[in-house]
Structure 1
Amino acid sequence: MIDLRALRENPEPYRASQRARGADVALVDRIIEADEARRTSLQDFESLRAEQKTVSRSVGKASPGERPAVLARARELAARVKEAESAADGAAAALDELARQFANLIEGAPAGGEEDYVVLRHEGPSPRDFAAEGLTPADHLALGEALDIIDTRRGAKVCGARFYYLKGWGMRLELALMTAALDKAVSHGFVPMTTPTLVTPQIMGGTGFLGAHADEIYYLPADDLYLTGTSEVALAGYRADEILDLTDGPERYMGWSTCYRREAGAAGKDTRGIIRVHQFNKAEMFSYVHPEDAVAEHQRLLALEEEMLALVGLPYRVIDTAAGDLGSSAARKFDCEAWLPTQNRWMEVTSTSNCTTYQARRLAIRERRDGRTSPVATLNGTLATTRWMVAILENQQQGDGAVVVPEGLRPYLGGLEVIEPVA
């Protein structure tokens, strides 16, 4: 949730943020009006309640002749106080509903939509020139089937489209990625956690996932629970309604979880293979920090993601995501995109977002400083996920259909250097 006082005192940055996102600028003025209505109704309620208390105290002091009139006035005020309280509650609820529609105030993100990102740099090895090698690259699914490590046909038979089985070295390759991410996180002070993958509406909504893209989330109505698409949700909820002590530095966690996404808005996109699926595994970093330290923490998370990408030797680029392509909670987001040779494009493999105090305000996660409580900042970042296998298989393939295992993952695979096709 946004800082209502800051918006009221200086609304123009919020208008500019909405403009950059391509969102409803008029929402700012509706919030200001709703806030004024709330404060006016609250003032009316408190004024009437104070008068009611004064009249109630005077009943015992009134003379027998005055008492009936005083009692009548007390009853009248009691009814008006009840009405005023209801009006104040309604105004507060109306303001809250509007405020929850407002996406986080952007901080440095370029304006525009999905295609308006800014490429910050290219890293890792140069993409292979398969033509120069006299090789037509196979896509990850063809490779995975030949290696007998990915089975989407039986996944669809059992579960429907966009499900799959990882077999043998495929399952072990995913586990190697996740374990390498675990080791990386622990070596940098993150507390590893396996997290719940079902959360309440309060937690899902508090992290900002029940807005425009709520249709991407699986919901279990019989239990009133949501399946999470990232452990970010459970990690943010972990400290909901608590006061943190960050005097010794940030609290950092790494969540290891299975993730679920309906991909309702992805019709026709990456339907082949395991690029865009309904279930996958992910290692997610999450930090609680002082708000003034959030920008530095964001760079720290990005650096760790890049260390993981260097470990597996992928060519990648770093982009600054445009405001209109940010989730509602993010003030700024950097993505790392690996090269996908068979599609001649870059594919997102990591994402790290600075959510400033937006999630913490919604979830009442605070710290005590100078005798007062105030919201902390939260940040998240992907350290590894199943999708990485797509880029590894395609970039590491050989002419005979074998795939070279990245050196950084070999210790996690018993020293395996090459995954060979099944005879």
Structure 2
Amino acid sequence: MIDLRLLREDPDRVRASQRARGEDVDIVDSLLAADELRRSSSVRFDALRGEQKQLGKQIPKATGDEKTALLQRAGELSAAVKAADAERDEAAARAQELLLGIGNLVHPDVPVGGEDDFTVRETLGTIRDFAAEGFEPKDHLELGQGLGAIDTERGAKVSGSRFYYLTGIGALLELALVNAAVAQATEAGFTPMITPALVKPRAMEGTGFLGQAAADVYHLEKDDYYLVGTSEVPLAAYHMEEILDADALPRRYAGFSPCFRREAGSYGKDTRGIFRVHQFDKVEMFCFVDPAEAEGELERLLAWEKQWLTSLELPFQVIDVASGDLGASASRKYDCEAWIPTQGKYRELTSASNCNEFQARRLQVRMREKGGAVRPLATLNGTLCAIPRTIVALLENHQQADGSVRVPQALRPYLGGREVLEPVST
């Protein structure tokens, strides 16, 4: 959540951020009013409680009519204190509810607009000219079926639409990608983590996934657990309610976990194959840093993602995501989009987000500075490898005319030295 002091001192900045996101601007004034009521009711409660304490000292010493009057006033004060306490608690709850409804402040350099208003930061790699090579590219599902790697029919039979099996070389390809991604992250100084897939509401809300993104989250009502859509959630909550020494920062974790998404609002989108699914595995980078280092850390996350996609020999572009397409927690977000030949366009494969102090404030993750002062730190996250989409890009970009798929050099050590994935005979 944002800093309330900033809201009081510069409400126009918060209004501008809400407007850029396409979110409710009036919530800013509602929160200011609720905050003022919270503070005034707290002052009133403290004054009444102080008078009550003083009265409590006077009553034992009083006699006669004076004592009677004091006891009458004590009764009045008791009722007034209870009412003020209730008013204070109600105002505080209302202010907190409104505060949780305001997104992180959008970075001033973020392009303003919706999903299609991003700006392209750079383009890397070369798009293949399949026509010049003399064949029409197949899509990833046809290739995957030919390789005996993907089975969506049985996935739908067992679990419904947007589910799948990775079989044979498909399963081995996932394991190779996971191991290669974790190896790169470990070499870069990240601590590998295998994280819980079920979290309590506190963790999900603290990372900002129960606001605008709540419709995309699976909730197990009987047990009040949430299935994570990304290991960002358990990684962010790992140091929940802890104070970390500034000297121990940055702390970088690479989490591997299954991810679950309802894909609410995606009806009719990417229904073929495994590009948009309800369950998938992912390697996610997460960083706890000094807020002064947050923007530099975002650039480092992006550099690691570019290194990864370059090692897979994929053509891709880096975009600066527009304000209206940011998640509630992100101040700025870069996406790396790989070229998908059969779609004729770039599609998101990885992302890197700077959340500044937003998540840390909600989760009460703080840092102790050298002088002893304690303050919120900053958190950042970056997808290194979302398995299904990466497989889509690999199969389509590295396919050959006979339906085989060339294995990028970086993956070969993790696939038993295979240079080519060969179609299976049926």
Q: Normalising to structure 1: TM-score of the pair? A: 0.98
Query: Which residue of structure 2 lines up, in the alignment, with residue 162 of structure 1?
Result: 162
Q: 5 Å matches for 1:104-119?
A: 104-107=104-107, 108-119=109-120
Shift of 1:246: 2.6
SS in 1 for 2:74: helix
Map Cα deviations across residues 107-126 of structure 1 (whole Å, 9 max, x no partner).
131111100001000012x1
Q: Does 1:382 align with 2:383?
A: yes
Number of equivalenced pairs: 422
Q: How many angstroms apart in 1 are the aligned matches of 2:16 and 2:386?
A: 34
**Which is worse superposed, 231-240 or 67-76?**
67-76
Query: Which residue of structure 2 lines up, in the alignment, with residue 98 of structure 1?
Result: 98
Map Cα deviations across residues 191-224 of structure 1 (whole Å, 9 max, x no partner).
1110000011111011100112211111111110
Q: How many angstroms apart in 1 are the aligned matches of 2:297 and 2:37?
A: 38
Q: How many angstroms apart in 2 are the aligned matches of 1:255 and 1:63?
A: 71
Q: How many angstroms apart in 1 are the aligned matches of 2:300 and 2:179?
A: 20
Q: Does 1:409 align with 2:376?
A: no
Q: Does 1:263 align with 2:255?
A: no
Shift of 1:38: 0.8
Shift of 1:286: 0.4
Query: Which residue of structure 2 lines up, in the alignment, with residue 329 of structure 1?
Result: 329
SS in 2 for 1:132: helix
Q: How many angstroms apart in 1 are the aligned matches of 2:414 and 2:386?
A: 16
Q: 5 Å matches for 1:22-421?
A: 22-107=22-107, 108-124=109-125, 126-369=126-369, 370-386=371-387, 387-421=389-423
Whether contact under 8 Å (1:243, 1:366) holds in the other structure is yes
Shift of 1:162: 0.6
SS in 1 for 2:60: coil
**Which is worse superposed, 22-31 or 149-158?**
22-31
Shift of 1:59: 1.1
In structure 2, give the amino acid aligned to 1:410: R
Map Cα deviations across residues 117-160 of structure 1 (whole Å, 9 max, x no partner).
01000012x10011111211000000000111100001011111
Q: Normalising to structure 2: TM-score of the pair? A: 0.98
Whether contact under 8 Å (1:162, 1:278) holds in the other structure is yes
Q: How many angstroms apart in 2 are the aligned matches of 1:132 and 1:23?
A: 47
**Which is worse superposed, 331-340 or 41-50?**
41-50
In structure 1, give the amino acid aligned to 2:397: N
Q: How many angstroms apart in 2 are the aligned matches of 1:75 and 1:123?
A: 76
In structure 2, give the amino acid aligned to 1:340: I
Q: How many angstroms apart in 1 are the aligned matches of 2:178 and 2:152?
A: 21
Whether contact under 8 Å (2:412, 2:419) holds in the other structure is yes
In structure 2, give the amino acid aligned to 1:327: G
The unaligned stretches of length 5 or more in structure 1 are none
Q: How many angstroms apart in 2 are the aligned matches of 1:29 and 1:301?
A: 36
In structure 2, give the amino acid aligned to 1:399: A
Whether contact under 8 Å (1:195, 1:256) holds in the other structure is yes
SS in 2 for 1:348: strand
Shift of 1:188: 1.2
SS in 1 for 2:61: coil
Whether contact under 8 Å (1:321, 1:335) holds in the other structure is yes
Shift of 1:382: 0.6
SS in 2 for 1:284: strand
SS in 2 for 1:66: helix
Shift of 1:58: 1.0
Q: How many angstroms apart in 1 are the aligned matches of 2:193 and 2:312?
A: 23
Whether contact under 8 Å (1:178, 1:385) holds in the other structure is no
**Which is worse superposed, 239-248 or 90-99?**
239-248
Shift of 1:61: 2.2
Map Cα deviations across residues 39-96 of structure 1 (whole Å, 9 max, x no partner).
1111111111111111111112223441121122112111111110110000000001
Shift of 1:249: 2.6
Q: How many angstroms apart in 2 are the aligned matches of 1:21 and 1:248?
A: 34
Moved over 4 A (4+): none
Superposed CA RMSD in Å reads 0.9
Q: How many angstroms apart in 2 are the aligned matches of 1:68 and 1:325?
A: 66
Q: How many angstroms apart in 2 are the aligned matches of 1:60 and 1:292?
A: 57
Map Cα deviations across residues 220-270 of structure 1 (whole Å, 9 max, x no partner).
111100000000000011111111113133111110001011112110110
Q: How many angstroms apart in 1 are the aligned matches of 2:320 and 2:49?
A: 52
The unaligned stretches of length 5 or more in structure 2 are none
Whether contact under 8 Å (2:249, 2:288) holds in the other structure is no
**Which is worse superposed, 207-216 or 273-282?**
207-216
**Which is worse superposed, 61-70 or 268-277?**
61-70
Q: How many angstroms apart in 1 are the aligned matches of 2:119 and 2:193?
A: 33
Whether contact under 8 Å (1:37, 1:91) holds in the other structure is yes
Whether contact under 8 Å (2:281, 2:386) holds in the other structure is yes
Q: How many angstroms apart in 2 are the aligned matches of 1:37 and 1:249?
A: 38
